[in-house]
């Protein structure tokens, strides 16, 4: 009797692990299926690349209409799509409600007055605007 209970318990544990594994796989694939994770990665790297080549006093406007359309479908507020962490030198791009993609920049500058602006109030003309200033020590 004890041996049979052990075999059943082992099978139940393996089934639970199997189900968890596939649930995590489908969740990961789902985030890439609508392009949100890939677009977050692309825009985070592109904005970090622009910051790395920028000099103090420059200002930029970057078109983020593609990721804004995905964020709108996911229920994300336009103002929360791009965030800059000057303390850790990170660009954080998020088109999903719970997660986002962070990418570091290496230029020793501060990013100020950054905002996401939807020109006509929709996702088709959305841009990220920011200014580069000398690092405040």
Say whether pLDDT at 9 is over 60: yes
Angstrom distance (rounded) from CA 73 to CA 66: 11
Say whether pLDDT at 137 is over 80: no
Place of tokens 């336009």: 78
Report the mean per-residue pLDDT for the chain. 87
Task: For strands 126-134 and 82-85, give the pairing.
Answer: unpaired
3-class SS at 58?
A: coil
Angstrom distance (rounded) from CA 55 to CA 134: 8
Handedness of CA 56, 113, 64, 60 (dihedral sign): negative
- pLDDT tens, residue by residue, 48-81: 999 999 999 999 999 998 998 888 888 888 888 9
């Amino acid at each position: 009797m004890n041996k049979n209970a052990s075999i059943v318990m082992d099978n139940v544990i393996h089934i639970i692990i199997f189900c968890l594994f596939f649930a995590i796989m489908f969740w990961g694939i789902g985030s890439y299926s609508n392009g949100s994770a890939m677009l977050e990665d692309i825009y985070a790297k592109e904005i970090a690349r622009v910051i790395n080549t920028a000099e103090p006093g420059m200002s930029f406007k970057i078109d983020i209409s593609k990721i804004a359309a995905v964020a709108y479908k996911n229920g994300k507020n336009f103002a929360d799509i791009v965030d800059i962490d000057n303390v850790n030198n990170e660009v954080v791009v998020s088109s999903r409600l719970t997660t986002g993609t962070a990418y570091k920049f290496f230029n020793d500058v501060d990013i100020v007055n950054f905002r996401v602006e939807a020109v006509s109030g929709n996702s088709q003309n959305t841009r990220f605007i920011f200014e580069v200033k000398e690092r405040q020590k």
